[in-house]
Amino acid sequence: MMGGVYALIAVGLTLIFGVMNVVNFAHGEFVMLGMVLTYLLHHYLGWDPGVSILFVIPIMLGVGALIQKTLISRVIGKPDEAQILLTLALSVLLANAVLLFMGPDYLTVKTPYKLSVVALGPIVFLVPRLIAFIVGLTFSWVLWLFLNRTNLGKGLRAVAEKPEVATLMGINPKRMHWLAFGIGISLAAGAGSVLTPFFYTFPSVGGMFVLIAFVVVVLGGMGNIPGAILGALVIGITESLTAQFLALDLAMLGVFVIFVLVLVFKPSGILGKGKLY
Amino acid sequence: MGRNDPNRASWKRYAPLILAAIVILVPLAVPSRYILRTLVNIFFFAALGCAWNIIGGYAGQLSLGHAAFLAMGAYPTALLLLNLNIPPWLGFIPGVVLASIVAYLLGHLVFRLRGPYLALSTLAFAEILRILLLHFRNQTSGSLGVTIPFKGTSVWKLQFASEQPYYYICLGLLGFCLYVTHRIHNSKMGYYLQAIKENQDAAENLGINLSGNKVKALMMSAALTAMMGGFYVAYFYYIDPDSVAGMDLSIKILLVAIIGGVGTVWGPVVGACILVSLTEISNYLFGGGRAGASLVIYAIILMIVVLFSPRGLIALLPGGLRSYRSE
């Protein structure tokens, strides 16, 4: 059931890679920021995560554009190392800034439907997980529609494919970069929002999700959105199967082993590389 | 060209000797245990940064999983000491051998990858090891970690009540790491690695064996890191998967080398001095409870280094640029 959430985190990551050719090592920290924002809105204003997500996404869209403008744009086209290290620094900065202000405690968002379940035939689902799954897949699908059906989305794809030609067509690649980074991280933060009802919120939670998101993105092919969605479902299933049949604490092991195998034998991913649509 | 530069001032030839004399005499002149501990920490991270530098700095192959090699040195040392009473100065050897073998296999597996893919696979490699260490709790006692009991001063088991012996051991290990990197820096292999870093395809066309050199560099780097893992056990008396195989440590190792100066012999020493003293200052200012403070500062320094001084802070020191082979 985590597959939907992973999909939402991963499509953002793959969008950023596809359009800007930057691997965002700080992606997990934006999931964490989404969780923290949702927690704060719940704690101080009593908002349900379902309402908060409508605020978290636009806020993070702005934050993303700002970060892109001030930081990331400086390393576009630079060597891989500079990009990796800059986003890595951003991730350490965000995680520890939150640690500094919020403390290391595990926070929870209590919702009335926290423990309610629905049965679909023989399988029983926890409601918050089901909601997260559906929201995750829906948002990923909306992103895909946006890229394929709107002019703005087509502009993004154009920049991803051939930046020079896109510029000749009157598309401003800089603006598309802001948009891509903003959308990418706001989706990650949105995933954070839907996670809060059933997942602890703490400053270093991002590290867990960023690794999974990388696995998913590599599995689906870097920059490939349908690939990311498919990869997310595969990883979600692998994780629960390993937990079920091997051992609970080895759940992530299966995921990483798949990751290394894909990297070594088919680094372009199961659906191939470089298609945003 | 730094090596045969005739303009090299003569005082620079003696500066290392003077520095060495000061460093050797410090423990005799400074009674403060706290200062000695801080210095040992500096040496420790400088040595790790040095080891990382061989593969990450000279060859430019960014590894985000070096903590795994430290754990490979630390766990065998600790378990041998605890179960079979084998002293750390012998017990670290299996760890070094293990780390070299794993580095050999890992290198052949991942070095066809480049850039972000390589960084990610090393990250995943360290995570796999951490999860395995947590899982096999019968052997490693899982997340509880392994504690080495202190049974009084014993030269045989490298257990000392005072700080001075550790100071000299760690200094010696750092010296060894510096010696190895210095040798590599001025060897054929050093030039090969530099060429690989600048442009892999061009290097291959010139007839440089890409994977052979990269694997060799990784093996050396892993062996030195595992050696420091052995020292970690002797010095801290306690290891657990999160602290010796976790991502935080991997990042700290890489920070030391990158902030100091990648691909230089002395860069990691500069980096370690800065990072360890910063940790101490921020612990003093904000108290240990505000653990995030020092890492926030590191992250900001790293951003500044990446954006404005990609060659590290050593390049800002007077004469620092000379330590680069090619300008």
Question: Chain B partners of A203 at a C-beta cutoff of 8 Å?
Answer: 292
The domain segmentation of chain B, as residue ranges, is: 10-323
Contacts A90 to B, Cβ<8 Å: 299, 303
Contact list in A for residue B298 (CB cut-off 8 A) is 92
| Cross-chain Cβ contact B296/A100 below 8 Å | yes
What pLDDT, on the 0 to 100 scale, is given for residue A55?
Answer: 85
Q: Does B306 sit within 8 Å of A89, measured CB to CB?
A: yes
pLDDT band at B238; cut points 50, 70, 90? confident
Identify residue A219 by its one-letter amino acid code: L
Give the phi and the psi of residue B86 in degrees, each rounded to 5: -85, 125
Q: How confident is the model at residue A268 (pLDDT cuts 50, 70, 90)?
A: low
The chain B residue lying nearest A208, using CA atoms, is B127
Chain A residues in contact with B299 (beta carbon < 8 A): 89-90, 92-93, 96
Tens-digit pLDDT profile for residues A91-103: 888 888 888 888 7
The answer to whether B135 contacts A249, with C-beta atoms less than 8 Å apart, is yes
Look at B128 and A88 and tell me if their CB atoms are within 8 Å: no
Choice among A138-147, A202-211, B7-16 with the minimum mean pLDDT: B7-16
Give A272 to chain B, closest Cα distance, Å: 15
- CB distance from A261 to chain B under 8 Å? no
Any B CB within 8 A of A214 CB: yes
Q: What is the pLDDT of residue B71?
A: 92
> Contact A256/B109, CB-based, under 8 Å?
no
The answer to whether A203 contacts chain B (CB < 8 Å) is yes
Is pLDDT of A274 > 70? no
Substitution target from B108, B110, B307 for chain A, most A beta carbons within 10 A:
B307
What is the number of CB-based contacts under 8 A between chain A and chain B?
Answer: 119
Chain B's closest residue to A72, CA to CA, is: B307
Disruptive mutation site among B52, B121, B137 for chain A (greatest number of A CBs within 10 Å): B121
Q: Judge whether A24 lies within some domain.
A: yes
Span B94-142, pLDDT tens digits: 989 999 999 999 888 888 777 778 888 888 888 888 888 888 877 777 7
- Identify whether A161 is part of a domain: yes
pLDDT value of position A275: 43
* Contacts with A97 from chain B: Cβ below 8 Å: 292, 296
State the Cα angle at A195 between A189 and A196, rounded to 5°.
Answer: 100
Looking at B136-246, list the stretches that DSSP marks H as alpha helix, in order from N- to C-terminal side: 137-140, 164-185, 188-198, 200-205, 210-236, 241-245
Contacts of A235 in chain B (CB under 8 A): none
| Residue in B247, B294, B251 with CA at minimum distance from that of residue A100 | B294
Report if residue A201 sits inside a domain: yes
| pLDDT, position B68 | 92
Q: Do A92 and B110 lie within an 8 Å CB cutoff?
A: no
ipTM of the complex: 0.79
For residues B228 and B173, give the distance between their C-alpha atoms in angstroms, rounded to a whole number: 8
Residue given tokens 């040195």 in the structure block: B73
B299 vs chain A: nearest CA distance in angstroms?
5
Which tens digits make up the pLDDT trace of A106-141?
Answer: 887 777 766 677 777 677 777 778 888 888 888 888
Closest C-alpha among A145, A123, A130 to residue A50: A130
Cβ-based neighbours of B71, under 8 Å, separated by 6 or more: B129, B130, B133, B229, B239, B241, B244, B245
Residue A276 resides in a domain? no
* DSSP-H helix ranges across B261-324: 267-286, 292-308
| C-beta separation of B37 from B193 below 8 A | no
Measured CA to CA, the distance from residue B216 to residue A205 in angstroms comes to 36
| Rg of the Cα atoms in chain B | 20
Within a domain: residue A181? yes
At B219 the pLDDT is 92
Residue A168 in 3-state DSSP?
A: helix
Torsion angle defined by CA atoms of residues A264, A265, A267 and A268, in that order, rounded to the nearest 10 degrees: 180
Q: Whose structure tokens read 């298609």?
A: A275
Q: What chain A residue is nearest to B134 in terms of C-alpha separation?
A: A249
Is residue B237's pLDDT more than 50? yes
Substitution target in A23, A72, A90, A93 with the highest count of B β-carbons within 10 Å is: A93
- The shortest CB-CB distance from A85 to any of B247, B258, B300 is to B258
Looking at the domain assignment, is residue A229 inside a domain? yes
More confident residue, B42 or B110: B42
Q: In this predicted model, which residue has the larger pLDDT, A178 or A265?
A: A178
Lowest-confidence pick of A272-276, B28-32, B171-175: A272-276
Q: A105 is written with which tokens?
A: 């405690």
Task: For residue B110, give the chain A residue with the closest CA.
Answer: A264
pLDDT at B10: 61
* Residues of B in Cβ contact (< 8 Å) with A82: 306, 310
Count how many domains chain A has.
Answer: 1
Q: B10-323 domain in CATH 1.10.3470?
A: yes
At B291, the pLDDT band (50, 70, 90 cuts) reads low
Q: Please check whether residue A271 lies inside any domain of the structure.
A: no
The answer to whether A270 contacts chain B (CB < 8 Å) is no
Domain that residue A245 falls in? 3-265
Contact yes or no for A99 and B134 at CB 8 A: no
b vs e for B41-64, b when ≥16 Cβ sit within 10 Å of the residue's Cβ? bbbbbbbbbbbbbbbbbbbbbbbb
Instruction: Give me the pLDDT at residue B317, please.
Output: 66
Distance from chain centroid for Cα B254: 8
CB B169 within 8 A of CB B228: no
